[in-house]
Amino acid sequence: MLIPTRPPFSFEQALTFISRFPACRCDTILERDRVSAAFAIDGKAYAFSLSGSLDRVTVEVHGRASPAITREVARRATAFLGAGDDLAPFYRAAVGDAPLVQVIGALHGLHHVRFLAGLAEIAVYCVLMQRTPPDRAARAKEKFLARFGLPVSLGDRELRAMPELAQLAELDVDAIAGAIGNRPKAARIVDVVRGVAALGETFLRTASYADATSALLEIPGVGPFSADAILLRGLGRMQEVRTLDWFADDARAIYGPRWNAEETARRYREHIGYWTFYVKTGAARMQP
């Protein structure tokens, strides 16, 4: 079925982002105009593929799946691609910001690609990425999925779906440590997953950003950066970011040494999450 996209939308840009972001690349099968992955739904893995051109994206669920499952896969795939986000207000805010306008020109139609399994995945990955380069964090995620992911075949390939949050909350420290080879991080994963599960996705989506952040910071193992990652990269809450200091190096790569964080915050306001996404992605594209 076709999934809804809000223009401007570029499936090609989404594929390029996935191919360059290790945490997305490691649990997908990428082809020139297609990406395949798997979702866990009610304890079972379902393989699916997204294909298309320009702003038309089709989702295909492989194997037997009820209409309800197909609709749920389509809903999650739409969220994964950020396909329903409205870029127009963000693009209007950028008018007159010449360095960012250049980035938008290069990334035009790129929507915010979330973590594939949303809250469940970011609850694990926000710990794996702590003080760890992206490639190493992605390898640790692969080890985690090899042990706990739900397997499903796609032709002669195997995909592994991240378990849903309730299933992740049942894992213990010993099992996770055996999978990733890092006991301190395993203990933090248990604390973070169980803490996030206790808060629940509904609360984290609907509470004010301040209340959601405060609640997350009460969870052992969640600091300010992880809290923002859960809300921004996991749930797609783009309206606020705790501090722009985390993006200073990327911003200076785009704007030069005289970049001003306060001026940026005033200009982009509730679109600041998209500003961080475009600046970080734009700076990464400048690297070989």
Residue spans of the domains in the chain: they are: 2-84, 85-288
Digit-coded pLDDT (tens) for 150-179: 999 999 999 999 999 999 999 999 999 999
Dihedral over Cα of 21, 234, 94, 251: its sign = negative
Dihedral over Cα of 168, 172, 174, 175: its sign = negative
DSSP character at residue 10: -
257 prior amide bond cis, ω within 30: no
Q: With respect to CATH, is domain 85-288 assigned 1.10.340.30?
A: yes
Q: Which residues make Cβ contacts (< 8 Å) with residue 271, sequence separation at least 6?
A: 89, 90, 93, 238, 239
Digit-coded pLDDT (tens) for 205-218: 999 999 999 999 99
Residue pointed to by tokens 């004010």 = 208
List helix spans (H) across the chain: 11-20, 22-25, 67-81, 88-93, 98-107, 118-128, 134-148, 165-168, 173-180, 183-199, 201-206, 209-217, 224-229, 248-255, 261-268, 272-285
- Return the CATH number of the domain spanning residue range 2-84: 3.30.310.20
> Quick check: pTM over 0.85?
yes
Digit-coded pLDDT (tens) for 3-12: 999 999 999 9
pLDDT per residue of the chain (288 residues) written in tens, 0 to 9: 999 999 999 999 999 999 999 999 999 999 989 999 999 999 999 999 999 977 889 999 999 999 999 999 999 999 999 999 999 999 999 999 999 999 999 999 999 999 999 999 999 999 999 999 999 999 999 999 999 999 999 999 999 999 999 999 999 999 999 999 999 999 999 999 999 999 999 999 999 999 999 999 999 999 999 999 999 999 999 999 989 999 999 999 999 999 999 999 999 999 999 999 999 999 999 886
